[in-house]
């Protein structure tokens, strides 16, 4: 029997980005059958695939190693209750399959006996004899012992360890691993979900379960009405997937216009010097009030400084929306910026209270599966970093490239992160460029892009000072890049 899996699961099994497989679907290399792909097709396209290299086989076998202990159990395996429910569901499916196979086997045997009877009544009937021989050979072939492919074994194992969630009507998919609830798993997969408190108090993450089962992970103060319970509604922040496959009905944000303006009082968790003129500001929101934003957006930070008064500034979020409690910002020294001055004079420190108002801005990742090219100048890397982390969580682009221009000696203040991405991720590459003139530096980046990327249909994201963005934008347009594929943010 042909074993079929979704594109999402196929990418997991092979250790590829979904964007790679989706590109093959678009160019006709990979053919889907009713939205599914057979494991035979995967083996034909990737005959030399090393399943161990994908990391999935290792994760399957690691659960038997007691040395990983609590860390593996919490990050990879669900709770005992959820694991038991998924095993029970899997057992039901296997029992149903076994019953159907037995019934089909009995039916074939009965038909074979009837064919033999016809052969005995009419020995000269060659057709009956040929049919009886075909039935006997076919049944023997079906009952023959065959080795099971590793892809099929891993898929069945992953159904127990991780749940696959399909979202309607968008068709987006994500996986639920370990002790994560549905909201956490969806956000880490890059979905633009509607939510508020994240702890079961507001009810904003309410969704309807269309197919499958959920299990509670924590108490919820928000009470669903009897009608909502009857219709299958549940809270994503307080439930996880109890079945291997789950289908949810919910509305996702389509863009910045769907994200409400928020005002949150946060606490400074850390201030870290990345370079003499660039510091990392780490804010943490209350557990009951998290910031909902899109990658690439900005917020206004405000604080009351003793002896100075109220100071504020607008800064790009340098963190992924999947981590909505921990907000990161790259702040550069600027005498004209009162907020930055207060930070560099250490008037804002660990434990200080800051207000966050936002989010704002339309410099966000567009939906699609093209290769992504990012270009940043100096602190423009903040918004670009947020976009890259979000793109990585989506796992939908076949490749990501970063060009980062520094106009000062300490301008590449986060280059170690770029190296870490490059070493850990095959589809990510980066190039660091240094030039004191932003316009000339942008021109150099355009030449590098032209040499490597202009034969590829890419989406380009540019962030930096106006002269940098305009120069690079004009170079891209002059090289034939469509205006709809260029997204820019001036800082």
* Structure tokens belonging to residue 313: 């500034």
263 and 246 fall within a common domain? no
Query: Do 381 and 305 sit in the same domain of this protein?
Result: no
Give the residue from 309, 328, 360 where a domain finishes.
360
CATH code of residue 397: 3.40.50.80
Q: What is the pTM of this model?
A: 0.76
**pLDDT at residue 49, rounded to an integer:** 65
Q: Are 405 and 427 part of one and the same domain?
A: yes
Which of 308, 331, 360 finishes a domain? Answer: 360
Does the residue 91 lie in any domain? Answer: no
- Mean pLDDT value of segment 348-372: 93
Residue 153 lies in a domain: no
Q: Would residue 402 count as lying in a domain?
A: yes
376, 399 contact by CB (below 8 A): no
Place 65 in a pLDDT band, splitting at 50, 70 and 90.
very low
Mean pLDDT, residues 82-100: 75
Which CATH number do you get for residue 287? 2.40.30.10
The verdict on 395 and 349 lying in the same domain is: no
Between 85 and 292, name the one with better pLDDT: 292
Does residue 205 lie within any of the structural domains? yes
Domain that includes residue 231, residue range = 163-252
State pLDDT tens for residues 258-303: 999 999 999 999 999 999 999 999 999 998 889 999 999 999 999 9
The enclosing domain of 171 has a CATH number of: 3.10.20.30
Whether residue 250 is predicted with pLDDT greater than 80 in this model: the reply is yes
Convert the chain into a string of H (helix), E (strand) and C (coil).
CCCEECHHHHHHHHCCCHHHHHHHHHCCCCCCECCEEEHHHHHHHCCCCCHHHHCHHHHHHHCCCHHHHHHHHHHCCCCHHHHHHHHHHHHHHHHHHHHHHHHHHHHHHHHHHHHHHHHHHCCCCHHHHHHHHHHHHHHHHHHCCCCCCHHHHHHHHHHHHCEEEEEECCCCEEEECCCCCHHHHHHHCCCCCCCCCCCCCCCCCEEEEEECCEEECCCCCCCCCHHHHHHCEEEHHHEEECCCEEEEECCCCCCHHHCCCEEEEEEEEEEEEEECCEEEEEEECCCCCCCCCCCCCEEEEEEEECCCEEEEEEEECCCCCCCCCEEEEEEECCCCCHHHHHHHCCCCCCCCEEEEEEEECCCCCCCCCCCEEEEEEHHHHHHHHHHHHHHHHHCCCCCEEEEEEECCCCCCCCHHHHHHHHHHCCCEEEEEEECCCHHHHHHHHHHHHHHHCCCCCCEEEEEECHHHHHHHHHHHHHCCCCHHHEEEEEC
Q: Is residue 315 part of a domain?
A: yes
- In this structure, are 383 and 478 located in the same domain? yes
In-domain check, residue 400 = yes
- Please give the pLDDT value at position 154: 65
Number of structural domains (the chain) is 3
Q: Judge if 229 and 167 occupy the same domain.
A: yes
Give the pLDDT band of residue 149 (cuts 50, 70, 90). Answer: low
In angstroms and rounded to an integer, the radius of gyration of the C-alpha atoms of the chain is 28
Average pLDDT over residues 343-371: 94
Among 334, 360, 386, the domain boundary falls at 360
**324 — pLDDT class (breaks 50, 70, 90):** confident
Residues 388 and 486 placed together within one structural domain of the fold: yes
Assess whether 248 and 263 both reside in one domain.
Answer: no
Residues 240 and 337 both lie in one domain: no
Give 71's pLDDT tier (boundaries 50, 70, 90): very low
42 within a domain of the structure (yes/no): no
175 and 239 fall within a common domain: yes
Verify that 241 and 263 share a domain, yes or no. Answer: no
* Confidence at residue 136, expressed as pLDDT on a 0 to 100 scale: 76
- Whether 41 is covered by a domain: the verdict is no
262 and 248 share one domain? no
């Amino acid at each position: 029997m042909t074993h079929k899996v979704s594109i999402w699961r196929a990418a997991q099994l092979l250790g590829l980005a979904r964007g790679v497989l989706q590109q093959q679907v678009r160019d006709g290399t990979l053919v889907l059958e009713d939205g599914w792909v057979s494991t035979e097709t995967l083996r034909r396209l990737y005959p030399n695939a090393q399943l161990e290299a994908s990391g999935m086989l290792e994760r399957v076998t690691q659960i038997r190693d007691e040395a990983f202990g609590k860390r593996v159990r919490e990050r990879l395996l669900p709770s005992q209750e959820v694991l038991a429910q998924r095993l029970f569901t899997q057992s039901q499916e296997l029992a149903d399959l076994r019953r159907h196979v037995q019934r089909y086997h009995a039916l074939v045997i009965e038909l074979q006996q009837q064919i033999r009877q016809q052969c005995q009544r009419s020995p000269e009937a060659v057709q009956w004899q040929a049919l009886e021989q075909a039935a006997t050979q076919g049944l023997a072939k079906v009952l023959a012992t065959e080795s099971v492919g590793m892809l099929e074994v891993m898929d069945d194992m992953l159904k127990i360890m991780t749940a696959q969630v399909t979202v309607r009507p968008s068709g987006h998919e994500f996986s639920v691993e370990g002790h994560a609830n549905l909201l956490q798993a969806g956000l880490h997969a890059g979905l633009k979900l509607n939510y508020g408190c994240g702890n079961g108090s507001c009810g904003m993450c309410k969704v309807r379960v269309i197919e499958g089962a959920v299990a509670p992970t924590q108490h919820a103060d928000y009470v669903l009405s009897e009608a909502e319970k009857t219709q299958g509604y549940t809270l994503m922040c307080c439930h996880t997937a109890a079945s291997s496959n789950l289908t949810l009905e919910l509305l996702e944000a389509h863009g910045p216009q769907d994200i409400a303006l928020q005002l949150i009082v946060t606490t400074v968790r850390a201030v870290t010097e990345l370079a003499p003129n660039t510091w990392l500001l780490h804010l943490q929101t209350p557990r009951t009030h998290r910031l909902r934003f899109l990658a690439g957006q900005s917020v206004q930070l405000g604080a009351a400084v003793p002896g100075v008064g109220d100071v504020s500034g607008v800064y790009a979020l340098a963190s992924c929306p999947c981590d909505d409690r921990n907000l990161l910002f790259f702040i550069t020294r600027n005498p004209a910026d009162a907020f930055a001055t207060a930070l560099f004079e250490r008037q804002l420190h660990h434990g200080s209270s800051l207000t966050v108002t936002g989010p704002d801005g339309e410099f966000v990742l567009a939906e699609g599966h093209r290769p992504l090219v990012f270009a940043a100048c100096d602190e423009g890397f903040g918004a670009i970093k947020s976009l890259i982390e979000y793109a990585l969580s989506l796992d939908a682009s076949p490749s990501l490239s970063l060009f980062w221009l520094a106009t000062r000696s300490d301008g590449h203040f986060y280059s170690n992160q770029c190296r870490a991405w490059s070493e850990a991720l095959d589809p990510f590459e980066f190039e660091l460029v240094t030039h004191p003139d932003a316009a000339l530096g942008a021109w150099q980046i355009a030449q590098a892009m032209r040499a490597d990327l202009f034969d590829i249909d890419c989406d380009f994201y540019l962030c930096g000072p106006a002269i940098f963005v305009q120069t690079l934008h004009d170079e891209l347009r002059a090289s034939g890049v469509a205006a709809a594929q260029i997204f820019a943010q001036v800082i």
